[in-house]
Amino acid sequence: MVSSGPVRGRIGETVMGTIHAIHEVHPAVPATTRGPARPARMPGWRAKLQSATRGASLALVAALVLTGCASVSDESTLPKVDTAPLIHDELFPPSRDVIDPAQVMTMSPKMREFLRARLPNAGSGTLMTETRDMRHMLLDALYTRGELQLEYDAETTRTAAEAFDAKAGNCLSLAMMTAVFAREAGLPIMFRQIYDEEQWSRVGDLQVISSHVNIALGRRKTEFRVIGNDEPSLVVDFLPGAQISRQRAMPLEERTIVAMYFNNRAAELMAQAQLDRAYWFARAAWLHEPRLLSALNTLGVIYRRHGDTALAERAFRAVLAREPANVQAMANLAQALRLQGRLAEAEQLETRLAQIQPYPPFKFFDLGVAAMKTGEYAKARDFFAKEIERSAYYHEFHFWMALANVGLGKWDTVREELAKAEEYSVTQPQRRLYAAKLESLKARMERTSTKLR
C-alpha cells in the first residue's frame, strides 16, 4: 500500500477470494457484508498495455485475491500501533503451521527449473535487446494450455510455490506466483487493488467481503536508454469481460499482500471451525501489516467465536477508531454488545448501520428464499433479481434464480441461470455440482422434447 493511511478491508465471516471483511450473522442482527470478488474460470489471461504517462500502474490480475507492490516502505514510515492489548496467545495452543512471511512469495527449485527451461535468458542479469517482449513470453509459459495449464480455484489460498505445485489457485495465489516468476525474470512488478470490485458471499453464518487484485508488469532493462517515463505497462486480468482500461486501482506493497494471504488463510480455517489455527494466521496478518484492518476485524471475529466477547469488542472498536464508518466492524460490534446484554448500545449502532446501508448484502436473497418456502416463485424471482443487480457474479444467487424459474416452469431461463452458476463458481466441487445439475436438466428437456414430437 502507499505510505500512509489504513489499508481498506474488513472481515465479517465467510471465505473466498481476497478477504476484506468477515461478519457474523445472527438472527437478531441484520447481516452486513460483502464477499468474494468476481469469480471466473480463467479461460486465459487478458493483457492490455497502458501508458505510464496517464498514471497507470503495472499490474497483473489473477481473480480474487490481493497482491503487493515490488517496493516495501521503510519501517520508520509505518504507523506505531500498540498491539499488546489485542494479542492474547495464552488463549490458544501453539501453532503447528509454518507461518513465515518469507515463505509466502518464495521461488521453489521446481519453479526455477520450470522458468529456466521455458525462458533460458530469464534471470541472467544482463542488459539485452529482446526480439520478443519477455512479459508475453512469461505469461505464455504460465497460462497457455500447452504449458503449465493453471486452473482457477478459490477453495484454498496458496503460497506462490503451492499454487505452482497444485497448478491452481485463486487470484491472490496466482498473482503472487506470477510476481515471483516475473521478479526472477528481471521484470518490474506492482500489485494493485481494484476499486469497485468488492463482492460478498456467505458460508453458513459467515459473510465475507472479497476484493479484486491485479498485477502490472514492466519491461526488463535493455541496452537502450529511454528518455522520459512513457514506457507502457502490461496489465493482465483473468476475469472475463474485465474493463482494464477503466479500472481505478490502488498500489499495494508486498508486505500488504503477504498479510492478505495470512488473513485469507485465517478466514478459510475459521469457516472450517478450526479457530485455534485461524487465530495464529490472523495474528500474523495484523502484526505483519497493522494497517490491514481486515485482519484486526478477523481477529475480533475469532475472539467472539472463541467465547472471548470482551476481547472481540476491543478489536472491533480498534477498527472503528481508525475507520469510524467501517460497516463490517460496526455490525460485528453490535453483535458483540448484544451477546453481553448491552442492548441499548447495540441498537444505537444498528440504527447507524441502517442509515449507512439500508439494504445490507443478502437482504433480498433471504427474502427470496423465504418466498420460495411459501411457493411464491414470482416474488422469489424478483428478489433474487435485485440481489443479482448488485452482485452479478455470485454463483449462489444464479442457482436460486434457477430454482425460482423451475417453480415458474421457465426452463430456458433455468438452463441459462444454471450455466451462469457453474461459470461463476469458484471451487472445483461447486463447478461439478452445477455442471451435473445442468446436464440433468438438459437430459430432462431432451426427453420432454422427444415426447412432444
Query: What pLDDT, on a 0 to 100 scale, did the predictor assign at position 244?
Result: 64
Q: What's the CA gap between 214 and 205, in Å, rounded?
A: 29
- pLDDT of 426 reads 66
Q: Output phi, psi for 37, to 5 deg.
A: -65, 165
Say how far apart CA 178 and CA 163 lie, in whole Å: 10
**pLDDT at residue 278, rounded to an integer:** 97
Q: Can you give the pLDDT at residue 57?
A: 24
Written as nine digits, the cell of 140 is: 505464455
Average pLDDT, rounded, for the chain: 76
Alpha-carbon span 170 to 435, nearest angstrom:
20
Q: Which candidate, 67, 13, 40, places its Cα nearest to that of 312?
A: 13
Look-up of cell digits 476484506:
20
Q: If 0-12 CB within 10 Å is exposed, 13-18 middle and 19+ buried, where does residue 316 land?
A: buried
Q: 363-446 has which fold?
A: 1.25.40
- Which residues are CB-neighbours of 260 under 8 A, at least 6 positions away? 9, 18, 19, 65, 66, 67, 68, 172, 285, 292, 294
DSSP 50-91: E-GGGTPPPEE--SS----BSS---GGGSPP---GGG--GGG
CB crowding 137-146: b at 16 or more within 10 Å, else e:
bbbebbbeee
d(CA 169, CA 157): 7
Start and end residues for every CATH 1.25.40.10 domain found in the chain: 363-446
Nearest to 14 by CA among 332, 404, 384, 398: 332
Q: What is residue 222's predicted lDDT score, i.e. its pLDDT?
A: 55
| Residues of the chain where predicted confidence (pLDDT) is lower than 50 | 1-17, 27-79, 126-129, 131, 223-230, 452-453
The pLDDT value recorded for residue 133 is 78
User: Measuring CA to CA, which residue among 407, 415, 402 is closest to residue 444?
Assistant: 415
Question: What pLDDT is attached to residue 22?
Answer: 67
Q: Which residue is associated with the grid cell 505510505?
A: 3
Q: What is the dihedral of CA 152, 157, 159, 160, to 10 degrees?
A: 20
Q: Rounded to the nearest 5 degrees, what angle is found at the Cα of 259, between the Cα atoms of 253 and 260?
A: 90
**Which grid cell is 392?**
452479478
